[in-house]
Amino acid sequence: MTRRVDLPSEPRVRAVLARLRQQATESAKRLTVLALAREFGLSNSTFRRHFPDVARDIAEASRSSPPAAGTPTSRYDLLVARNAKLKRRNRELTAQLTLAAARIQQITLDNHGLRHQLEAVSGVPLIGAQTNRTRGRPSAPSPPP
């Protein structure tokens, strides 16, 4: 059984949020949900579960406000941003690959069906189709003498 957590009130959370925003502005650091959650002795996930609007506000503010001009971006921040960009690109490419594979499967099925229709209409089996079916199979062993 999990322990009971004493949650702060919404006005108290907003007051601490305002204080942390001020500190973040003065120190040119980014405000995070984790920093706010730690102020109350809560885990990040517990805070996000009970205060989703506040967590969303912090996330939107950090996305919409770029770092102030002249403030150096740390190597860690650059790596985090690059990693996020690569992950987004990877998801896009994975989705495109999945769609391409599905399209190839559909075209293969269409091709197979059209070949069968052509055989049925013409009444003559395609020679190339027969050799394609036997291609790649090992030849039958010859009988022993």
What does the block give as tokens for 24?
């973040």
At 66-102, the pLDDT tens digits run 655 555 568 888 888 899 999 999 999 999 999 999 9
User: Who wins on pLDDT, 113 or 127?
Assistant: 113
User: Does residue 1 sit in helix, strand or coil?
Assistant: coil
Provide the whole-model pTM. 0.43
Question: Above 60 in pLDDT, residue 139?
Answer: no
Burial class of residue 97, CB neighbours in 10 A (0-12, 13-18, 19+): exposed
Range from 28-32, 116-120, 121-125, 138-142 carrying the lowest mean pLDDT: 138-142
- Please give the average per-residue pLDDT across 6-31, as a whole number: 88
Contacts 24+ apart (CB under 8 A), 31-40: 31/58, 31/61, 31/62, 32/58, 32/62, 33/58, 33/59, 40/7, 40/8, 40/13, 40/16
- Band the pLDDT of 140: cuts 50, 70, 90: low
- Please give the average per-residue pLDDT across 23-40, as a whole number: 86
Is 91 in contact with 83 (CB distance < 8 Å)? Answer: no
Domains of the chain, residue spans: 8-72, 74-125
Mean pLDDT of the chain: 83
- Please give the average per-residue pLDDT across 107-134, as a whole number: 80
